[in-house]
Every structure is written in C-alpha cells, then in structure tokens.
Structure 1
Amino acid sequence: MRKKTAQSGHKRNWLKHNWLRVSLSLFIVGLFALDTTGSTPLPLMDRFENISYDARMRATSQAKVDERIVIIDLDERSLTMEGHWPWSRAKMARLVDKLFNEYGILLLAMDVVFAERDETESLSRLDQVIETQDVAAIANALRTIRSDLDNDSVFADSIRDMPVVLGYYFTHDPRSKITKGKLPTPVMTSEALKGIDVGFVEAEGYGANIPLLEEASMSSGYFENPLQDDDGVIRRAPILQMYKGDLYESLAMAAARIYVGGELELDVVGTPDSDYKAIENIKLGRQTIPVDHNAAALVPYRGKRGSFRYISATDILNDTIENPDVLIGAAAFLGTTAPGLVDLRATPVASVFPGVEIHANLLAGILDNTFKHRPAWVLGAELLFILLIGVLLSFMLPDLDAIWATLMTIAMLGMTIISNLYFWTDQNIVFPLAPSVLLITALFLFNMSYGFLVESRSRNMLGSLFGQYVPEELVNDMASDPSHFSMKGDSRDMTVLFSDIRSFTNLSEGLKPEELSKLLNIYLTPMTATVHEHRGTIDKYIGDAMMAFWGAPVKDPKHANDALAAALEMMEKLKYINRQFKARGWPDVKIGIGINSGVMNVGNMGSEFRMAYTVLGDEVNLASRLEGLTKQYNTNIIIGEKTRDRITNYYFRELDRVRVKGKDKPVKIFEPYCSGDEIDHFRLEVLEQYYDALQHYRRQQWDAAMHLFARLQQREPDCLLYGMYIKRIELYREDPPGDDWDGVFTHTTK
C-alpha cells in the first residue's frame, strides 16, 4: 500500500513539475495533426514534403539503362545538320520509314504535334510553269512537282497501318478555348463515366494534328502536363484527361496500349448503395496504374537523364548510328533535348530534364508495374502515427537527460525513415515523410530549449560553487550532464601539466615588487586562458609555476591530446608575451613544460579549514620532474611515455631513457616533433637517422653513434640535443659506463 502511494506521489510530482512542458508539446502535436488532415495547413510543409519526396526518388533511382525504350532525339546536332524545326513532312516520312523498315523498331510515339499543313515550294513553282509557253517544259516540270506536291500525304502514307502514336496537347485556360486540328477518338465516352466521382483534369481547348495525319495514325495521345507542383517540378502526370465529358489518354498510355495490347479498364471503388464512386486504378491487361483523385499517377522516374538510350535523329536519316541493333524491337519516342525547342522540365531527379524522357519513364512504369502510389488509407495511417509518436515523445522527452533524449530522437527518426523507405521501395506506397520527421525534430528542439532555460539556473549555481576549479566550458558540461562529474575523491586516468619560468629567481631580483606582480599577471593570464580553452583545470599557481590537469572533474577521453595542444599553444603565446615584456623594458623569459599521464588520485582534498580540488600520485610527481629536465635537454616541452601512447596523429622524438630523482625505475622521455599533417620526407629521414644514432649509442658503439649525431647536427644545427649526445659520447669514451649499462642516464637533481 505504501509502495502504491509512493508511486502515485512520484507521478503527481512529475506532472506538477512538467505539466507546462507536456502541454506545450501536445499543442505542437495538435498543430501537426491538423496539418495532416488538411484542415489547418502549416506553412512550408508541402515544400518540405516535396524535398523529401525528391530525395527518396533520387536515392532509390536505378542506374541501369532500359533497353526496351529508345529516344529519337531532335537535338542541336540534328537541327544543325537537317535544318530548323519543323522539318518537312517528306523528311519526317523518310525518318519513319527508316525507323520501321530499316531499323525494326516496335512502335513510335511522337512528342510533337503537326497542327499545320506542310508548306512547300511546289505551288510557287506551279505558278511559274503556268506562265511558260513551252509545252514540253510544262510536262517535265509537272512530273517533277507531282512527286512532292503534297508532303502531308507522303507523311500520312508512311504512318498508315504502322504502330505510330501522334502527339497533341490540351489547353486549360478558360479564356482561350483554342480548337485546332482533329482530336482522336476518346478512349471512354461520358456515357461510360456516369456515377464515377473523379476530379479528372478538364481541358478547355486543344491543339491536335491535321485531319489527314490523325486519320492515318493508329493512335494519338496528349503530351502536355498541367499538373506540375507549385515549385514547378513535375512529380505526377494525368493518365487520362477529360474534354467535353469524354476521356482521352496520354502519349505514354497510348504507346502502352500498342505495346501490351488490350483496352483500358477503370478500377472503380465504392459500394453499390453509395452515391460515391471513385477510380483507384487504371488497368491495361495485367498492368495496373494506381491513380489519384485527378486520375494522375506519380511518375516512376528511373533516374537522372540517360536512363534510356538517346539516338540523334540525323544519325537515323544519314545511317550513321554506331550500334543500330539497339533499335530492333524497341519502343521509340520522338522528342527533343534542344534548349531552343523548350521541352526541358524540372523533375525530382534533375532540375533540367527532357520532357520526352518523362513519357519514356511512364511507359517503363506501366510495363514494369513500378508506380508509386498513395492509397486512400495512407491519410488515416499518417494521422495515427503522428498522434502516437507525438504523445509518446511529449511524455518521454521531459523525463530524459540530453544524451538519452538525443538517442531516443535519433532512434525515432531512424525508425520513421527506415519504415518509410520500406513502404517506398518494397510496397511502392508513398507515406508522407516530412511531417513525421519535422514533428519529432520540433519536439526534441522544444524540449532541449525548455531544458536549457532550467539548466541555465543550475549552471549559475554550479559556476559559483566550482568556478574556481574549472573553466566556464566545463561548468556548462557539468550543468548539462551532472552524471559525468564528481567532486569526491576518485582514481582515474588523467594528464597533468607543469610549467615554470626558467631562472625566475635571477629575473625577479632585477624587478621592483610591483613590476614582478605585473609581470606574473601578464604571463599567467594568457597561459591560464590557454589551459581553459583546451578544457583543462588549473590546480594551483606556485609563484611563477603553474599546475593544470585534464580528465577531472569532467571526464575527458582526449585528455592527453588536449594537454599537448595546450602546451603547444602556450609556447606560441609566449612569443606574444615576450613582445609585451620587451615593450616594457623587461627581459625575455623562457619556460619549460612537463606533461605526464596515468592513473591519479583526484578530488576535494585538504583540511576542515581549507579544501582544494587537486591531483596526487607518482604520475603527478613525474610530470614535475619532466618539467625540470627541459633545461638540461634544451627543449621546451617534455612528455612521459604514457602520454605519448595516448596521443594520436602526432610524431615525437625520444629524448632519452632516464632515472629521475626519487624513482628507481627508468622512464622514456619525449619531445613533440611535428603533427601528422606536418610530417614530410625530410622529417621522417631525420627521425630515422636519429633513432639509428640512439641505438648505436645505447650499444656503446661510440664511433657509429658519433658519426650519425654529427651528421644530424649538420642537418639541424639549431637542435642542441645532438650536441648533448656528442659530449656524452666523449665522456663515455674516457670513462666507459660498463658492459652491464642499460642505456639509462641517471639524473640526481630535480
């Protein structure tokens, strides 16, 4: 009973603490739900959904060329070689004859319209003949004219009884009801559509082919698309359009009927007792085309331009095709990619896309049954998903810290995207993606922002308590994730740094007390800032010396890298500091830095009168000893072997193997040489030669070692390390260290 009471009390406290946060989250969910139903659209939601649709289309497009369909291209080269468009009907007849009789195509669909009669020079030549007096000349001229007097008839004869689909277009401006040419026979009359409630695209006028050509053709289909989206992109195309109550088919649909055979059927949904009936699919034999309320289908783009083979029309006319076999048995579309003929469109897969290839994609989709579609139940499923995911996150995110909230958000986004792509690729069902992704993101950002306002108050409290130990950046980390820090005593892997001004005693003797104070302030301020910039913690100042560490109170997996970066930047800052000193008439200063890593004891230590957050241990003492060795090795920074092992993407030079005062076990010491980005052939060669010299030195092969160190000194005269080893070798020659020497140099001073 007590347990149930405690649980209910916890729930009441949670709701009391988070009611405003949850309420605002649910309000956001409500906005997205209203947008999904369409009652209250959110600004730019359609734009984001279009972007996500296009991204999915590009990501899942095929790279393989469809060999069943080819495009006869009225390209720039064809227009240059054969003359500007429109070409004479005689030339078009020759093109058609070659495609069918010589190259063996299966069918030809034309993404062009022949709305005017062909104008030739025959009539003017006839007038000239009438004016002549020579009967023989008249007869010869008439024989010549007779053959080309009616190019339209020549073209009509070439397409008659051939599987040719002519193109035409509808107009949709009520103010301009143009009727030009002759429309084909509708695929379905108004009588067959009674009782079917479909918002067919209704045309106001048309531009069709001249009657002679229309009557000669096997079929015709419209090629214009009035359904481009608000952003100008063509994502869907009407399979059928209505004109004066009758239905007409698109160019791709007409081509498919010839390719597959059979007649169109409308898959009508609705109950017999209901007044509502709608078309869900258009069927052609075994092929099914899912359509929306406009009898339009989503264009199944196979990929970017080039998903079908292009052949220049001039190559057909002049028999210069490289591989004519690709035309045998192919369905051909005649269209243009020439910019001047204005048939370039914006599509999900490319911002500039030939209109003729849209028809080719539609035909390929019909043949393969690969149309994406949005069934009527998708709206309800999307609304349910929005509500479920929204309510779940509204109650869970307030109870999670930043890391878990981020992980959960990523998991939700991943689940949403993966499930969406499953339906997209495996079921060809298009679920809206943008609303779900934006809702999850919006709830996450809202909760993070809300949490930030609360955390900023706790950050101020932490700053006042711990600001003396850690930089502001780490205070922020501590406030955002308290689980990663503790002021209690602990043993952990860390890095510690000691720095000291060389010969500071002599320097201070030449300065007045106020000058000495100012000097230390000018020196320590930028050095401290550098440590803080690299997420370090200042332990203490001991006169001119500074001690800092990394890895506490906030854990830092890159503590060794951060410490080295701070040390290198401190040396750069020293140049700026010395310029300031020079301006004040003070001498330049040199510093030494020692860095070491390992397991150290860290925590709030001290007495009842005073506590200090500090580190202790042998690794700390070694770092202090390394700082003291910098002067003897004529270098600025010395690091221990454990630090070297923890640092990535940096080259080091082993200075020596030493025993420091207070430790019997020898240690290797190193100096930073260069970063992985700075390494070059010269530096690698120097390092290789140096380690060879060091190996000879430790084997007491003095002559070989002396020779190599001397060569290195010539290559790098500014490096005093080589001179130190040369002096040692000279001493060891006079007083050899013995056969049991392990190559270790023992230092007897700190």
Structure 2
Amino acid sequence: MRRGLLYYLTHWHTFRTVVGIVLALLIASALFWVYTEPARIPVHPEDRLLATDEPPDPNVVIVGIDDRSIAGFGAHGEYPFKRDRYATVLNNLKTAGAAVAAFDIQFSEDSSPAGDDAFASAIGQDNLAVVLAYGQTDLQTAGPGLLRMKNSGAIDRPLDKFVCGDPKALPGCKPVAQLGSTAIITDPDKVVRLMPMFVEARCASKTAADECVAGVLNPISFVAYRQLVAGTSVPLTYTPQGAHFGGIWTKPLWTDGQGLSLIDYRGGPSADGGWFQRHHQYLSFGDVYDNNFDRSAVAGKIVLIGSYGAAGVHDEQQTPSSRGAFMPGVEVQAAMIQTLDSINQSKFLQPEPASWVLASLLILCVLLGVLLPRLPALFGLTLTLGAILVYTGGWILLLGVFTAGLVPNLLEVWLALGLTYAGLMAYRFLYEEREKRKVTSIFGLYLKPELVDELSRSRSIAEIPLGGVRREISLLFVDIRGFTSMSERMEAEDVLKVLDVYLEDLSQMVFKWDGTLDKYVGDEIMAIWNAPAPQPQHALNAVRCAWEMAMRMPEVNERLKAKVLPEVQYGIGVNSGLAAVGQMGSQNRRTYTAIGDTVNTAARFCGAAGPAQILIGRRTRDLVQDYVAAEVVPGLQLKGKSADKFGVYRVTAIRESPGSPWVTAPGMQDFSDVGAGQRPTAIGAKASFANEGEPVTH
C-alpha cells in the first residue's frame, strides 16, 4: 500500500521524532537566551575543569601582613600600622633590589604626621616604582568598557604627599607613585572571576587649587605589571575587540562590554597554606620590616604588599580555584598579574564564543531529539549521560591540546541535554498513557484484563495491528442447538436470563484461554486467537477452550436449573487459517474483528456440530495433533463446502503434553480408528490407557 506524507507525519516514531526535534529546538533556544543574559545562572561547573595548581608567576612575590607580623610589634601591634613601618619595608625592599612595590592597602585614614612624612620620603626615592591603591567596590556602568566609582572623592585617594613622594607636596604636584584600582567584581555566587580593567575615579588627580579631576584607573595588578615591563609610557586602551597594550601584547586581552577581564587562577589556597606560601614566594611583613629575609627572593620582581590571613582583616575572596577556602585579596591581584604576564598571549582567557555555544546546544539537543524517541527510557538516559560525558571530555581534550585560553560553557549545555531527555520522557509518559487508554477502550470488552494490560504496554496504538492485517488465526464459534424454537416457547425475560448465564460462563472460558472475544450474535459467540497479540499455540488454546466449554456444559445447565430455566445444548466449531483482522466498520462505528473464508468455515463447523461436539478443520488438526485426538467426520456436507476437501474432524480426546495420558469424556468414546489396546478409557474429567500408545488420527 502506498503511504503518503500524512502517514509519515503521523506515524508514531516519525511523529514523536518531530516532537523531539521541536522540543530540542525550544530548549536549546531558551538555554542560549539564558546564556546571553547578564544575570545568568550562578553556577559554573567549568571552574573545576579549569582548576590547576601551578606555581605562581616567578616575577611576583607577596609580602603579607599576617598574624605573626601584627603580633611582632608587641603591645603596640595594632593594625592598620603606622606609616613609618611601611617606610621601613619600602627601604628594605629597595635595598634588596625589588623592581616594583604595589600596596593593596588603603591609605586614606589619618595617621601621625611623622609617619606619613617618613612613608612619603620612602616613596620618593629612586629605583623602586611604587603603586598605591585607590579602592572602592561600589561601581556603576559609565560607558563602553568603563565602570565608575559611584561616590569616590578625595577621602578615598591616597594623600598628595604619598602620590608625589614628598612630605611637603601640595595639590597639583607631579606624581611619583602610580595609582591603581583595587575594585573587584563578585558574581552572584560571591566568587571573583572578573577584574575591572578600566575604572573611573572622581579624584584621580588634583589641580593646584586642590580640585579633584576625574580619571580612569587600571587595577594595581596591571599598573605593577606595566611598571615592570614598560614603565609608565604605554597605556592600556579599550576597544570592542579587547584591551590593547601597545606592542607588548601580540593579542588583545579579552574584555566584555564593561571592560571586565577574566582572571586566570593557576592555583589557590589549600590545607597546606596559601598559594604563594606553598610555593615559597611569600614573605612575612614582619620579616621584611626586620630585614630578616632572602634579598634574592625580591630582586628585580614585583612585590605585592597586603593583608594575608590576618585575623579581623576581612580582605579575602572566594575564587574558582579556592575550593571553598578564601583567597587573600592580594593573591587575587597576583593571579591577575600572572594572567597579564603570560608568555603566550593566546592563553589569555576568553569565554567560549556564543556561536560555539549555540551550535553545541542545537547539535546535541536535536541529536537527542531524533534518537531518544526510538530508545527505551533507560537506554535514553544512558545516551544522555554519554552525550554529557563526551561533550565535557571533548572540552578537556581541547583545553589541554588545542584551545588553551577558552573558558567553556558547560552548565547550559548540560541543562539543555537533561531537559531534552526529561521533556521527551514526560511527553512519552503522557502520550503512552493516552495510548494505553485507547488500547483499554478498544480491547477491554474483547480480552481478559491481563491481555489488555499486556497490549497496553505497547509503546503506541500504532504497534498493534488495528488497520487490517492478514495473518493466520484460530477461530471458535459456539451456539445453542434449537435456540430459535426454544426462545419462541419462552418469555422474553427468561430468554435473556438463559443467555446471561450461558454467555457469562462461556465468555470467561474464552478469557481463561487467552482468546479475544470478538462478538455475540444472538446466542452465538465468536472468539479469535493469535490476534491482536501473537500466540504461538493459538490453535491449541482454541481447542482447549472448546474442550472446556464442552466439558462444563453440565455445570452451565445446573446453573440454569437453579434459576428454573431450561437446559441448553451447544456445539462448537474451530478453524485455523489466514484471515484479515483489524479495526473495521464505518466512520461512526468501528470494531475489532476478522473476516475471510477461514471465519466462514469455522462458523459452518459450529452449525454442523452436535451437542457437546467439537468440529475442527484440517489445519487446526495439523497444528494440535500432538495434543488432540480427532477422527474424520466423513460425508459431512457444509453449505457451499466439501467435507472431503476441507477435512472436517471431530475432537475425541485431549492431553496436557505429548507424553501424558489422554483425557476423554462421556459421549466422546467412539474411537473406530484407534488401534487395539490404545483406546482412552473415560473416567470423567481424566483418562488412562490400558497400555501406552497414541490414538491414530487422520
């Protein structure tokens, strides 16, 4: 039969595949929208993928203000320190040959004039570049690639004498120290991943009239790095393609539209101590103050000075590499220097391109949308987890071999794959529940409940042959002998009562032997085997059902007598062969049935059978001959049929298995064709043999 486009669009697998693809496209689009939103989901599984524990940049050393440093100043070990102590540290670092000293410390608070003067003088000495912190975390967008400190002013700025390195400096003096921003950005999960590269401060410099002048500051990490590699002559500039650093970098540093750049954390704190401590690039502030340190450790290097785990000083941050611990803010700046000081600028971190994310979402989700409808739920789950593992493993390979510097997007892809699986499974559940209701409504009146349940486990109604298929089936017809004349002599109500008892008992026997109850036609019952569900022993089940009907006729009559109703006698016909089975009828009313010559012949066998007789055809006899004894009924004339041609047989005995004894019943002991000494002996519902052997069948 030629099938058109409508068939393929409505066919179960194809239809569900279309649903899967549409669902996959919707989920991929939704997750891509989430990915592009500024306030995206605050979960970053890629943190673990990127986490390493490499040594810090060898050009950076941290001088940390730790608990030992504070306690080392005795009873006067208060913090913040007096400025003369910073002056001593600066002088010792200069003597040791440090290249840059960058303070991740605010100097906006009041202190003693003598200490301030000493610190200003130390800053003003030659041969040691100094970077001072100008910090405020309250930021707002100021323009493309630029953030602004909301309420910054002179109070947030280091004193003029520090900036100019002169105890007597006046506003408008020539700066000696460089100012750098210590502003940081935390993501919604409170983790620091981004560094603002361009921050506008309202008081970046002053005029001679002591008026603040706004200016753009870079982070102290970049200012210190620039002092080491290029002095102050090369500016950092923003473009939509990223931040450019003259000819120092061969590739721009990736920044987003606000000028934020990703920090490449190569390590983090652990149980063994801080990142720089573990790799012996850390000096205690107290040791440097006492000039008790290895001078070669700082010679020619950037020295970052700041709080390092001191109690009560809350300058610590969660970072992707901190594994639940906190990283001192000065180490965050050190990690940014390591990012900037990469030998190969191709390793500058940048997010996976949005086009890659979209392609990954579309390809993987659509692939699942096509495959999942064809797989069982467990196999589908395995496929989904496999896709997640392959995607993640592919990124691990790419990061290690080809595309170092890319930060993959994992979460949205993982979510998209999981939601595609969950959505298709939910659709499958809802669809199959509907299909189950269809099966129940169609077959609930024809089959016993167990068979209905078995059919309802089919994935769809399309898997059950309802539209008409040709297959071999076995049919059973049974009706009451003389029913017409009997019903004419009875009241209509009594006729219905007789039919109720008769049909109820015999219908239960059909269900017992896994038959499909096709229809009632007055007193006639039609039942089918091997449809709609396959039954390898369909003929044997049909004959066993017929045998039980014949054997239980006395019980049926006992029930009728108890209701003061007349007894009935019925005959049974069974035939096997090819027939068309399926849903048939008009547009308004359809029923499941079988049609064909096999059906007509079975009905005529039934009409020719005497009371409690079972007549079967040759094909049925061939299928059941190991279990059923039957004798030819010669000369039986059926309307439009030849008995010799069709081979009509009367069932005379039955047995459970090929080696078990034969069972016969009263009224079925005519074995004219059975060999001597092999005749079954009737004993009611059981039988035995005088000696072993089998009845001969024709």
If the length of structure 2 is used for normalisation, what is the TM-score? Answer: 0.52
- Look up the match of 2:194: 236
Match runs of 1:474-623 below 5 Å: none
SS of the aligned residue for 1:397 comes to helix
Match runs of 1:318-717 below 5 Å: 318-321=290-293, 324-336=295-307, 337-350=309-322, 351=324, 352-368=326-342, 369=345, 370-374=347-351, 378-421=353-396, 424=399, 426-452=403-429
1:251 partnered with 2:251 = no
SS of the aligned residue for 1:242 comes to strand
Measured after TM superposition, the shift of residue 389 of structure 1 is 2.8
Q: After superposition, what is the alpha-carbon deviation per residue over 1:229-256, rounded to whole angstroms, capped at 9, x for unaligned?
A: 1222111011121235631121011101
Output the CA distance in 2 between the equivalents of 1:610 and 1:294.
Answer: 89
Measured after TM superposition, the shift of residue 112 of structure 1 is 0.8
Output the CA distance in 1 between the equivalents of 2:70 and 2:179.
Answer: 25
Output the CA distance in 2 between the equivalents of 1:339 and 1:84.
Answer: 12
Q: Counterpart of 1:198 in structure 2: which amino acid?
A: G
Output the CA distance in 2 between the equivalents of 1:610 and 1:214.
Answer: 111
Match runs of 1:256-295 below 5 Å: 256-261=225-230, 263-265=233-235, 278=240, 280-287=242-249, 288-295=252-259
Q: 2:88 aligns with which of 94, 98, 106?
A: 94
Q: Counterpart of 1:301 in structure 2: which amino acid?
A: Y
Q: Is contact 2:305-2:330 (8 Å) kept? A: yes
1:47 partnered with 2:47 = no
Q: Counterpart of 2:78 in structure 1: which amino acid?
A: H
Q: Is contact 1:21-1:450 (8 Å) kept? A: no
- Look up the match of 2:121: 157
Identity %: 22
Q: Counterpart of 1:252 in structure 2: which amino acid?
A: S
Output the CA distance in 1 between the equivalents of 2:314 and 2:72.
Answer: 19
Output the CA distance in 1 between the equivalents of 2:449 and 2:287.
Answer: 80
Output the CA distance in 2 between the equivalents of 1:396 and 1:374.
Answer: 30
Measured after TM superposition, the shift of residue 99 of structure 1 is 1.7
SS of the aligned residue for 2:89 comes to helix
Q: Is contact 2:139-2:149 (8 Å) kept? A: no
Structure 1 pair 315–197 and aligned structure 2 pair: CA distance change class (3 A): closer
Q: Counterpart of 2:55 in structure 1: which amino acid?
A: K
- Look up the match of 2:98: 105
Structure 1 pair 264–62 and aligned structure 2 pair: CA distance change class (3 A): farther
Output the CA distance in 2 between the equivalents of 1:467 and 1:326.
Answer: 85
Structure richer in helix, relative to its length: 1
Q: 1:316 aligns with which of 259, 268, 288?
A: 288
Q: Is contact 1:203-1:242 (8 Å) kept? A: no
What is the root-mean-square deviation of aligned Cα atoms in Å?
Answer: 4.0
Output the CA distance in 2 between the equivalents of 1:17 and 1:53.
Answer: 34
Q: Counterpart of 1:246 in structure 2: which amino acid?
A: G
Structure 1 pair 114–16 and aligned structure 2 pair: CA distance change class (3 A): closer
Measured after TM superposition, the shift of residue 404 of structure 1 is 4.1
If the length of structure 1 is used for normalisation, what is the TM-score? Answer: 0.48
- Look up the match of 2:27: 28
Measured after TM superposition, the shift of residue 281 of structure 1 is 2.1
1:198 partnered with 2:145 = yes
Q: Counterpart of 2:275 in structure 1: which amino acid?
A: S
1:210 partnered with 2:159 = yes
SS of the aligned residue for 1:281 comes to strand
Structure 1 pair 45–296 and aligned structure 2 pair: CA distance change class (3 A): closer
Q: Counterpart of 1:334 in structure 2: which amino acid?
A: I
Q: Is contact 1:264-1:282 (8 Å) kept? A: no
Unaligned residue ranges in structure 2 (runs of 5+)? 166-174, 203-213, 460-625, 629-653, 658-698
SS of the aligned residue for 1:166 comes to strand
Q: Is contact 2:42-2:187 (8 Å) kept? A: no
Q: Is contact 1:110-1:335 (8 Å) kept? A: yes
Structure 1 pair 289–450 and aligned structure 2 pair: CA distance change class (3 A): same
Q: Is contact 1:168-1:220 (8 Å) kept? A: no
Q: After superposition, what is the alpha-carbon deviation per residue over 1:170-200, rounded to whole angstroms, capped at 9, x for unaligned?
A: 36379xxxxxxxxxxxxxxx9xxxxx84343
Q: Is contact 1:97-1:158 (8 Å) kept? A: yes
- Look up the match of 2:71: 80
Q: 1:115 aligns with which of 85, 88, 108?
A: 108
Q: Is contact 1:372-1:424 (8 Å) kept? A: no
Match runs of 1:217-232 below 5 Å: 218-232=176-190
Output the CA distance in 1 between the equivalents of 2:295 and 2:216.
Answer: 38
Q: After superposition, what is the alpha-carbon deviation per residue over 1:24-60, rounded to whole angstroms, capped at 9, x for unaligned?
A: 444434432433454xx9xx95123xx32422332xx
Measured after TM superposition, the shift of residue 300 of structure 1 is 1.1
Measured after TM superposition, the shift of residue 210 of structure 1 is 1.0
Measured after TM superposition, the shift of residue 73 of structure 1 is 0.7
Output the CA distance in 2 between the equivalents of 1:37 and 1:88.
Answer: 48
Structure 1 pair 313–611 and aligned structure 2 pair: CA distance change class (3 A): farther
Measured after TM superposition, the shift of residue 610 of structure 1 is 9.0
Q: Is contact 1:222-1:251 (8 Å) kept? A: yes
Output the CA distance in 1 between the equivalents of 2:130 and 2:65.
Answer: 17
Output the CA distance in 2 between the equivalents of 1:154 and 1:34.
Answer: 57
Q: Is contact 2:238-2:259 (8 Å) kept? A: no
